[in-house]
Amino acid sequence: MIDVYATNILCLRDTKLFRHLYSKIPNERKLKIDSYKFEKDKILSLGAWQLFCVVMKNKGISVDKIKIYYKENQKPYIFPDVNLYFNLSHSGEYAVCAISEQDVGCDLQKIGELNMGFAKRFFTPHEYNFLLKEKNECNQKKNFYRLWTLKESFMKVTGYGAKLPLKDFNISIQKEITVNHKLDLQQKYYFQEYSIQEDYCCSCCGLENNFSPLKFIEIDS
């Protein structure tokens, strides 16, 4: 089972609460938060970590006692007390967390401007034509961010991340969402889209076709 969770991070705009939670997190996470230039990104990063902590707590796992390791491709996993892989993403006012016993990737994007020039340059011809077929501008914009999050979730689950050019693999959105690639990967990848809010797109990619419904939870204070 791939479990997917989401939370609203608006409460962390409270400076006192932000500082309180920031003081309790591991130094490694503090460095990641500090690397962001803008306050809104610091808040999102802390929110994603707090979401992860609540998810672990709900599974009966103390974050203070676990050790996060990284594979050669920098994908994080928890071992040896539990064998779990996780991935975090955040955008706008929300953060998401995907948990699985195998590699997993998730991506969340708040819908913004439609950039067809970007799509023509970086998406595959098939993906670009998929966007062109939709004549309604709102739906076309939605499809752009659907493709974006689906592609990002695949890049994350493989561990290639930004090293994998967007044009090197094709996402096909039909009755079933599939990926076509030329990578040296033997596994089959499955996708699931989630609805956070009307103006957000969220996608998850994993090695098993067994995704939980999206679970909304509150950040511990």
68-110 pLDDT per residue, tens: 666 655 566 665 566 788 899 999 999 999 999 999 999 999 9
Residue 164: pLDDT band with limits 50, 70, 90: confident
Q: d(Cα 132, Cα 60) in Å, to the nearest integer?
A: 48
Residue 159: pLDDT band with limits 50, 70, 90: confident
pTM, to two decimals: 0.90
Helix or strand or coil: residue 131?
helix
Q: d(Cα 81, Cα 66) in Å, to the nearest integer?
A: 7
Q: Which CATH class is domain 3-216?
A: alpha beta
Residue 26: pLDDT band with limits 50, 70, 90: confident
Average pLDDT, the chain: 89
Q: 118, 123, 93: which is closest to 199 by C-alpha?
A: 93
Question: Domain residues of the chain, as ranges?
Answer: 3-216
**Which strands make up the sheet holding 104-110, listed edge to edge?**
104-110, 200-206, 190-194
User: Which pLDDT belongs to residue 123?
Assistant: 95
Percentage of the chain surpassing pLDDT 70?
91
